[in-house]
Each structure stands twice: as structure tokens, then as C-alpha cells.
């Protein structure tokens, strides 16, 4: 696996346009199965997106990329299975389940299993699909899903506003018979984007402010669509963290400040200057960061779990103590031990992490444990004295397009080994 060599103590500053959102592009690529031709603009070039393209190709689609536009052609003869190897390439491949069921009336996929963030059950996905008339049999680690006739709309109360389950239900409900009502649905911008894509191909979806989604099943969907994926809010937050950690001054463009309404005040609390425009965010880091009293990760519109690790990297350099409470995933502090190799002082106890800021970090050899944890290590290395080696960067490439190129253009000294 490749590594990054990062020479720290260089300010991150300048201007950077943000790429499209990974977590919006992935379900939208699955939704491309429901129409014949999808032209998707602002589709980021990431290994997870390539994994989704491999799945589509396996299912019988053609996928072509021209710059940031991906064109998916999904003619007749679509297959309904995803082999284990492709499922394992990307955990979120489970979102293909709802789309394949709608397209083919049956689906066979392997059980996604756990991942680096701890156990990742899909009980909410499966219970909801069963309520919609899907028969699900577990067979040697595979899920064999069949439907007698058509899926049927129903009223669903999600025990937790799961992003993936909400996406699978939407993909199953658009052509189901009757109306599906999802109470306690996820409200992330990426859900709104998937609903936007489905609406563009003729689905009838009503997103209510209280987290209820109403989907009226339609008979058919339109054959063609051209759609633009929303900007990546987590990539935006990550680059802002890099600027804040190095006392830099950064203007992030082609982004959406509204998606970061719970995050931007945290930068201000830490002493950064933040200004926003319609599709841009300006941030100037202070000489020394202040701690952030409490970061509690929550479903949207709360503080995103995906920004927890980058913020923890930032808080290691603050003058005082910061507290983190991770409420979404069971095991999302693996980066803490790696940050400690660079001189950070962090205590983790279950879902709580207490970070006592230090005046400076030093370089070290550190290993990415997951996508956002990997981004956090890069942020710490950019601020640390000396040259750090960040290994296993394949994790980072799942979610950040050409990270080293972008950071270099902003003044970082970073090379790939």
C-alpha cells in the first residue's frame, strides 16, 4: 500500500474548489439502475465510486467517465446478484439492494459484515424491506431476496435514522404499489440529493421537515436524466481543519455552507475566523487554537460523525481540553492511538474521548485505520514538526479526490511513496 510523506509546519492556504459528495454519488449510482441513461455531473473520482461502477458493470451496465461527469447506460438484461468480492470492495454496496429489487424483482447479495468502524448491522434495511413485501433468506452468508409480485408501500418507523436504510427504502418505494411513509428517516443532505435524483426521473417523493418522507409509488420512471451531485461537506470540513491546524487562510469554493451549520460554529469556538457566501467558506486559523468544549456526533442536522476525526486532530493542538462523544458508531476512535504517536494527549473511554491540547505535535510513522481517521492523521502531520509517514492511504482514497495534489496546491509539502 502507498504512503504519504508529509513535512509539517507549512501553512495551508489559498483557494480550493470542493469535489462532489461521495455519500451522495454512491446511492445515486445505485439509483442509475432505475433509468436507462444517467448523466451525472460533479461525480467525484474516488476508489469507492470506482467500486460502485464495477458493481454496475457487473450488473450489465456500461459506465464511462469524462472529467467529473459519469454516464451510466443501463439497458435490458440487468443481472440481480452482486458477488462477495465486489460487496467487500465497498461496504455501502448494500445500497444496491433496494435498486436491484426495484429493477429485477429479486436480488442476491452477500452480507456486508463488520468494518473498521465496528459492527455495521443492516437489520433496519432488512426489516423495512420485509415490511414492503420482500422475502429475505440468509444462505451461507448471502442474502437471497425475492418478491411475490410487486413491493408494497407501507408505514415504517425507523428505530434510528439510518442513512443507508433510508436510501434503500427510497429506492424500493419509488415503483412500489401505493404509498410508503418513513418516520424517523435520515435527513442528511445526501438523502435529499438521492431524493432529488429520483424525483428527476419521475418519482413522487415528499421530504418533510420533521424527518418524515412520503413516497407515492408510480407506474414507470423516465428513461433519461442529467443530474448534478451536491458538494462534499465532509471534504469541505477536512480542508478547513487543515487550514485551521496550520494557522492558514483558506477559501473553499463550490461548496454549500448550509450543510455545515453544525460544524462552522465549532471552528469559531476554536478561535478561527469564518465567513460564508452562497457557495463558499473562508476560514482563517488563529495563532493558537482554543479547545472545543463538547463535540457530540448526531444524525443530521447535528454534528457529523464523519467530521469527528478531523476535529480531533485539530483539538490536539488547542490550548485546553476538548471532549468528544461519538454517538453514531461504536468504534470510531482508532485514529486516537495514532495521533498519540505524534505527541497528542487523548484518553478514550467507550464513546467519550478527552483531548488535552499540547503546544505542538511531532512527526511520526502513523497508519490510517479508516477513511476519516486517515484524513485526521494528514491534518496532524501537516501541523507537526518534521516529516511524518502516513501509511495505508488507500483508506483516504476512498473519499478524497487527489488529496496530495490539492494539499500541495495549498502549500503543503506532501509526496506519495
* Binding positions for ligand EPU, rule: CB under 6 A: 23, 26, 92, 120-125, 160, 162-165, 186, 190, 305-306, 328-329, 371-372, 399
Strands 273-277 and 280-284, sheet pairing: antiparallel
Contacts of 4 by beta carbon, 8 Å cutoff, 6+ apart: 378, 381, 389, 390, 393, 396, 404, 414, 415, 416, 417
Q: Closest Cα partner for 237 from 199, 200, 267? A: 267
Query: Residue 155 is placed in which grid cell?
Result: 408505514
Nearer to ligand EPU, 125 or 335 (CB): 125
Strands 345-349 and 352-356, sheet pairing: antiparallel
Catalytic (active site) residue 104: no
Integer Cα distance of 278 and 256 in angstroms = 7
Active site residue: 43, 61, 115, 368, which one?
A: 115
Q: Closest Cα partner for 171 from 134, 121, 117, 119? A: 134
Integer Cα distance of 17 and 277 in angstroms = 14
Q: Decide: 169 and 156 in contact? Cβ < 8 Å.
A: yes
Residue 265's CB: how many other CB atoms inside 10 A?
13
Query: Residue 244 is placed in which grid cell?
Result: 485551521
Nearer to ligand EPU, 35 or 305 (CB): 305
Place of cell 488529496: 403
Residues 128, 129, 133, 135, CA torsion sign: negative
Q: Least distance from C-beta 16 to ligand EPU, angstroms?
A: 19
Is the preceding omega at residue 301 within 30 degrees of 0, hence cis?
yes
Nearer to ligand EPU, 11 or 372 (CB): 372
CA distances from 270 to 173, 264, 356 (A): 43, 10, 14
Residue 302's CB: how many other CB atoms inside 10 A?
14
Q: Decide: 295 and 265 in contact? Cβ < 8 Å.
A: no
Q: Closest Cα partner for 53 from 15, 14, 80, 93? A: 93
**Three-class SS state of 185:** coil
Active-site residues, by number, are 115
Amino acid at each position: 500500500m502507498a504512503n504519504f510523506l508529509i513535512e509539517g509546519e507549512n501553512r495551508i492556504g489559498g483557494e480550493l474548489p470542493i469535489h462532489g459528495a461521495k455519500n451522495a454519488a454512491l446511492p445515486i449510482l445505485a439509483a442509475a439502475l432505475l433509468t436507462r441513461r444517467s448523466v451525472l455531473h460533479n461525480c467525484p473520482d474516488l476508489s469507492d465510486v470506482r467500486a460502485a461502477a464495477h458493481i454496475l458493470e457487473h450488473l450489465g451496465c456500461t459506465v464511462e467517465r469524462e472529467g467529473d461527469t459519469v454516464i451510466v447506460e443501463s439497458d435490458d438484461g440487468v443481472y440481480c446478484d452482486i458477488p462477495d468480492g465486489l460487496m467487500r470492495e465497498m461496504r455501502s454496496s448494500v445500497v444496491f439492494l433496494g435498486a436491484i429489487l426495484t429493477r429485477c424483482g429479486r436480488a442476491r447479495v452477500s452480507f456486508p459484515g463488520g468494518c473498521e468502524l465496528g459492527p455495521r448491522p443492516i437489520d433496519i434495511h432488512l426489516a423495512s424491506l420485509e415490511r414492503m413485501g420482500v422475502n429475505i433468506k440468509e444462505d451461507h452468508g448471502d442474502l437471497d431476496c425475492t418478491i411475490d409480485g410487486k413491493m408494497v408501500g407501507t408505514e415504517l418507523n425507523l428505530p434510528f435514522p439510518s442513512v443507508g436504510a433510508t436510501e434503500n427504502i427510497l429506492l424500493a418505494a419509488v415503483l412500489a404499489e401505493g404509498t410508503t411513509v418513513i418516520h424517523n428517516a435520515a435527513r442528511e443532505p445526501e438523502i435529499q440529493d438521492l431524493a432529488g435524483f429520483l424525483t428527476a426521473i419521475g418519482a413522487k417523493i415528499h421530504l418533510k421537515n420533521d424527518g418524515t418522507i412520503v413516497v407515492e409509488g408510480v407506474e414507470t420512471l423516465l428513461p433519461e436524466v442529467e443530474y448534478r451531485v451536491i458538494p462534499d461537506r465532509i471534504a469541505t470540513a477536512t480542508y478547513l481543519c487543515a487550514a485551521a491546524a496550520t494557522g492558514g487562510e483558506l477559501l473553499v469554493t463550490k461548496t454549500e455552507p448550509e450543510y455545515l451549520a453544525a460544524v462552522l460554529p465549532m471552528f469559531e469556538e476554536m478561535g478561527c475566523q469564518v465567513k460564508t457566501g452562497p457557495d463558499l467558506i473562508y476560514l482563517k486559523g488563529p495563532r493558537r487554537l482554543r479547545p472545543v468544549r463538547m463535540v457530540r456526533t448526531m444524525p443530521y442536522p447535528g454534528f457529523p460523525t464523519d467530521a469527528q476525526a478531523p476535529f480531533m486532530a485539530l483539538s490536539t493542538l488547542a490550548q485546553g481540553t476538548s471532549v468528544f462523544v461519538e454517538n453514531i458508531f461504536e468504534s470510531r476512535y482508532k485514529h486516537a492511538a495514532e495521533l498519540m504517536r505524534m505527541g497528542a494527549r487523548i484518553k478514550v473511554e467507550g464513546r467519550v474521548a478527552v483531548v488535552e491540547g499540547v503546544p505542538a505535535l511531532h512527526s511520526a510513522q502513523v497508519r490510517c485505520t479508516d477513511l476519516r481517521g486517515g484524513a485526521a492523521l494528514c491534518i496532524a502531520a501537516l501541523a507537526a514538526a518534521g516529516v511524518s509517514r502516513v501509511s495505508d492511504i488507500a483508506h483516504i482514497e476512498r473519499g478524497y479526490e487527489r488529496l496530495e495534489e490539492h494539499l500541495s496546491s495549498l502549500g503543503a509539502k506532501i509526496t506519495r511513496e
